Amino acid sequence: MSKDESWTDGEEAVGRRRGGRTFLAVAFVLVVLAGLYAAAALYFADRVPAETRIGGVAVGGQTPAEASRTLESRLSDEAARKVTVTVAGTPVRLTPADAGLSYDYEGSVEGLTGFSLNPSDLWNHVRGGVDRAIEVDVDEDALTKAVDAKTKALDKKPVEGTVALEGTTIKKTASRPGLTVDRAQVVDTIAQEWPQQRSFDAPTSAPAPELSQTEIDRFAKDDLAPLVAGPVTVTSTDPTAEGGAKDISFSVPADQLAAAVSISTKDGKLSATVDEKKVGQAAIDAGKASGQFRSAKDATVVRHGSGFEVTPSSTGLALVEEGIGAKVVAAMKKSGDQRTFEVAAKESQPQLTTAQAKKTLPKEQISTFTTYLPSTTGVRADNIRLAARRLNGAYVAPGATFSLNQQLGQRTAAAGYGKAGVIMNGRLTNDYGGGISQLSTTLFNAVFFSGAKIEEFHPHSFYISRYPEGREATISWPNVDNRFTNDTGAGILITAEVNGNEVTVSFHGRKAYDEVKAGKSARKNITPPKKIVDDKKGCVPQSPAPGFSVDITRSFIKDGKTVKSSSFTTRYIPQDSVTCTNP
């Protein structure tokens, strides 16, 4: 090879070496740039785009975890702000945490990060971003429970109006519609609109009352007012008046008429009902109160010396009661001078006429019984004397039933009685009329031996030794009574007296039997007493005695033979030992 050729070849070799170095340099730069680009893409893949705002909070350039923490830090107070639900002007407040409402911080940053080599995506990470609302979680079950709990008390049932009578005054209360919250709609609206909206008006409905105000006003004016507008006038004629019939007129007071009116509601309609029996009796009572009518008087029998005399009976004047109630009701529905009606009057007859009393006049003492006072002084003895005076002279016509409670009346201080020992719930205590059970027991035995029919008696709860075992009767107002029916065929005059320590009740009449005998079994079912220590004030000490029962027989003797017999069992509880520790 020539010198020239060698030089040329050398230049070409140098050029090739220089070109190779340039390519390598360029390739190196490209690799470096690609690496840097990839590194940048990788870096920004885990970063929220720079200009991103979530719920108004800037979180650009942060990792998802950092962004979640930032959102929670900045928005936790906002997330906890209470939700207001207004029900018919009344606000109630829900705490979001209790109502299943919460911000989803992690979910709010989802989709904002991720690896990409797309230059536009990388540019968006560096210079771009999004502005989005915070994501929320709604637990509808919890929200439903919270809404129910807060609003249920605001539901109101319809208020039914009323119409009532106070005397003759009509009192009305207004009907009012109810209130029902549409809780399902409240839940749906909150679930859709929270947290953009935090105040909600609850939809409601207004259930109507069954009874409308229109019906109340109509009934009060048209139906009720006429019934109590004033008194009703009753006219009649006295056919027994001397010199011919005499006109009678009296009024039944409006308040007595109103007392017989009852008001009811059915199917949204009001109605008034007048008790015919009550207004009829009101008319009868008003007639008696007018002094233009008189009650018939029964003949009475009194003891005179060793015999008996009859005080004559007398007739009375009474309204004909049949149909009177319906007539009063008809008049109540009218107005003015038309509120009147006519009713017949008649002569009324006594239950026991003079002739009947004379025909059944007592002739002899048919029974007598005496018990003995433990003391002739003190309140107890005074009570027995007072009761004996009120029993003395009582007359029981043939077929009539006698009640000791009715004869004596309620035992009160106003009636002259004092407080003395009584048995109550198996314990001794003090009450008005204490002691008169001794008179009741004496009366019971007079009934027993007279042969009259025993209707009702109640032995003392525990046995009292001054009385005959099994044949004794307590009394208490108003339900514990001592009653008998006079079935002896003649009148019975009762005499009662306290002489010294003797309490005696005698029956005067006509003997239906030659003799009435009493029998008694041995004691049985014996029960021991208990011991009681009582520190209460008013305690009354008791001595112990066993409880037991006895059978009593009653034999009716006539012409030497037992013509009938009866029996009953008397049971006594133990008389517990009571020691009082509070003087």
Residue 308 has pLDDT above 80, yes or no: yes
Q: How confident is the model at residue 582 (pLDDT cuts 50, 70, 90)?
A: confident
pLDDT of residue 537: 87
CA distances from 187 to 146, 192, 194 (A): 9, 9, 10
Task: Place 213 in a pLDDT band, splitting at 50, 70 and 90.
Answer: very high
What percent of the chain has pLDDT above 90?
78
Give residue-wise pLDDT tens across range 422-451. 887 777 788 999 999 999 999 999 999 999
pLDDT in tens, 524-569: 999 999 999 999 988 889 899 999 999 999 999 999 999 999 999 9
Query: Contact at 8 Å (CB) between 202 and 87?
Result: yes
Residues 377 and 583: their CA atoms lie apart, in Å, by 24
Residue, of 520 and 41, whose pLDDT is higher: 520
Q: Which of 57-71, 312-326, 419-433 has the highest mean pLDDT?
A: 312-326
pLDDT of amino acid 356: 95
pLDDT value at residue 306: 83
pLDDT at 45: 53
Task: Show the tokens assigned to 320.
Answer: 């004909």
Find the helix packing angle between 276-289 and 324-332, rounded to 10°. Answer: 100
Q: What mean pLDDT comes out for the span 63-67?
A: 90
pLDDT at 1 over 50: no
Asked if residues 350 and 315 have their Cβ atoms less than 8 Å apart, the reply is yes
Band of residue 132 on the pLDDT scale cut at 50, 70, 90: confident
Mean pLDDT of the chain: 90
pLDDT, tens only, 3-57: 444 444 555 555 555 566 676 665 565 554 444 444 444 444 578 887 889 988 9
Q: Quote the pLDDT of residue 349.
A: 95
**Do β-strands 531-534 and 577-580 pair in parallel, antiparallel, or remain unpaired?**
parallel
Q: Are 231 and 252 in contact (CB under 8 A)?
A: yes
Quick one: average pLDDT of 456-468?
Answer: 94
Asked whether the whole model's pTM tops 0.85, one would answer: no
Give the pairing type, strands 131-132 and 53-54: parallel
| Residue whose structure tokens are 């008005």 | 432
Give 511's pLDDT tier (boundaries 50, 70, 90): very high
Sign of CA dihedral 409, 412, 416, 417: positive
Identify the residue with better confidence: 38 or 320. 320
User: For residue 90, what are the contacts with CB-CB under 8 A and spacing of at least 6?
Assistant: 154
Tell me how long the chain is. 583
